[in-house]
Chains A and B, each alone.
Chain A
Amino acid sequence: MHRATTARLRVARALLLAAAGGLSAACASSGRVAQFQDFAAAGHAYVEALDPLLAEAGDAAVDADSVALLASREEWDRERRLERLEARNELLRRRLALLGDLRAHAGALAAYFAGLASLAGDDAGTRLGTALDGPARRVASLGEALGAADVDGRRVGALVGGSAELAVAHFRARALEEELRRRAPLVARQLALERAALEIVAETIATDLELVAQRQEAERVWEPWLGDALLMERDWMDARRRALGTRAAARSAGAAIAAVESLQAAFAALVENRSTIEHLRAFTDDAGRVLDLLEVLEEP
């Protein structure tokens, strides 16, 4: 029933943990570049969690529709059954295409977050660090050599003005600020649209999952309970637990809306240079609840 692979969920969970881990480092340094790195990591984790959720939304929509069709099948003659199945298949094909579009858009957003991470030094930082390793070390030793020296009455140390790494970090921070200045409205708009889409997806998936669970509950719990046939107690207890558990889990789909709202708030804080550990912690908590739901649904 569920296409969201365990491997994909594991990646999303790892990214979320990495984002949460980055928070402690950011807290320690509270640097501007670290704020960008944390936001980019959170954005990446969001996209990774979104993909299996959208896949699950497609499966749930088809299953809920099948349940409704099967429940009313006896009411229709052959001609009407033909019409109904055709019409509903068309609607579901459209739904799956729209969810596919949302997944494609998430890919574009992921590329943007990856670019932001590179610019913030998460990825390219390693390469730059390697390139700068030699020069930076030499500049550091130069500082010691020039410790007491003056040229035209000015300390040579003042001319060097710190290590090359620090200077490059300055360029990086400026590039990030420039990026933010130019693109903040676009990213804010995209996140707002993501939120609007996720509201529909999350609310719909919750209803779809519950409709399927209701049908299973009717067949496996209520009918045997109300009937006169011998009740297989162990099976009945298992079916009842599963049905009630799925219905409870379905209601937590709303965490997806909370996750994107937390990401929006984190972005607003980044733009206004007031990011705190709480902004991203709220996001990692909400996104974690989405992954919990998907893992529950993955269980056989």
Chain B
Amino acid sequence: MSTAPPDRDPLAEVRRSLDRLALALASPAWLFRLSLEDRKRSRALADQVQGLRLEVANAQLAAIVERLRAGEAELADATTGMNGALEGVRKAAEVFVVADRFLGVVTRIVRLVA
């Protein structure tokens, strides 16, 4: 059985690139080498990148959540189905109680015959 992810999402690399860019722009080692003016520009750019990070990750998550929702009803059915199967196992247990009583009768007969 394959355990691979369902699809390769083309947005994944975009999101990762934005993550790397956000980290680079906010890196103290980078910021404190810049002039005050360039530092402000870097922070403004980092803010714009942050907005894009949110948008892209939201779009990716929304697509997955939509597919998860489609399976949720099936999952609920499966859970209900298992409860039915559990009931079947309980009934089997009851059958064995009856069988035990029957065998009790057989034991007495066997003892009588012996």
Contact = CB atoms under 8 A, between A and B. Distances in A.
B6 A196 contact: yes
A119 B15 contact: no
Given A182-B81, A203-B16, A203-B19, A139 B9 contact: no
Size bracket of the A interface: 35 or more
Interface string A184-222: 101111111111110111011001001100110110011
A115 B78 CA distance: 9
B23 A222 contact: no
Contact of A222 (B28, B62, B107): B28
Interface string A253-267: 000000001001101
Interface stretch (A171-179, A228-236, A284-292): A171-179
A75 B89 contact: no
A105 B6 contact: no
By secondary structure, the A interface counts as helix
B109 to A, nearest CB: 8
Interface residues of B, number: 68
Interface string B37-80: 00010011011001101110110111011011101101110110
Interface in A123-152: 124, 128, 131-132, 134-135, 138-139, 142, 145-146, 149, 151
Contacts of B97: 131-132, 134-135, 164
Contact of B47 (A68, A98, A187, A191): A68
Contact of B75 (A61, A68, A109): A109
A189 B28 CA distance: 42
A183 interface: yes
Nearest to B80: A115
By secondary structure, the B interface counts as helix
Contact of B23 (A183, A210, A217): A210
B28 A61 contact: no
Given A108-B76, A118-B86, A175-B85, A72 B57 contact: no
Contacts of B26: 67-68, 71, 211, 214-215, 218
Contacts of A264: 3
Contacts of B46: 68, 71-72
Contacts of A168: 89, 92-93, 96
Nearest to A131: B93
Given A91-B54, A207-B19, A138 B75 contact: no
Contact of B1 (A61, A67, A164, A272): A272
A25 interface: no
A135 B96 contact: yes
Contacts of A109: 75
A222 B32 CA distance: 8
B82 A119 contact: yes
A218 to B, nearest CB: 4
A72 B32 CA distance: 15
A57 to B, nearest CB: 10
Contacts of B58: 91, 94-95, 98
A72 B44 contact: yes
Interface string A50-80: 0000000000010011011101101100000
10 contacts: A92-B54, A94-B62, A101-B65, A115-B78, A164-B93, A184-B1, A192-B6, A193-B68, A207-B22, A265-B3
Given A138-B100, A138-B104, 18 more contacts: A69-B50, A75-B43, A91-B58, A128-B93, A131-B93, A132-B93, A145-B107, A151-B113, A172-B89, A178-B85, A183-B78, A189-B6, A192-B3, A192-B4, A211-B22, A217-B28, A218-B26, A272-B1
Please provide the 9 A-B residue pairs with the shortest distance between their CB atoms, ordered closest to farther: A72-B47, A68-B50, A115-B82, A164-B96, A264-B3, A91-B54, A135-B100, A175-B85, A218-B28
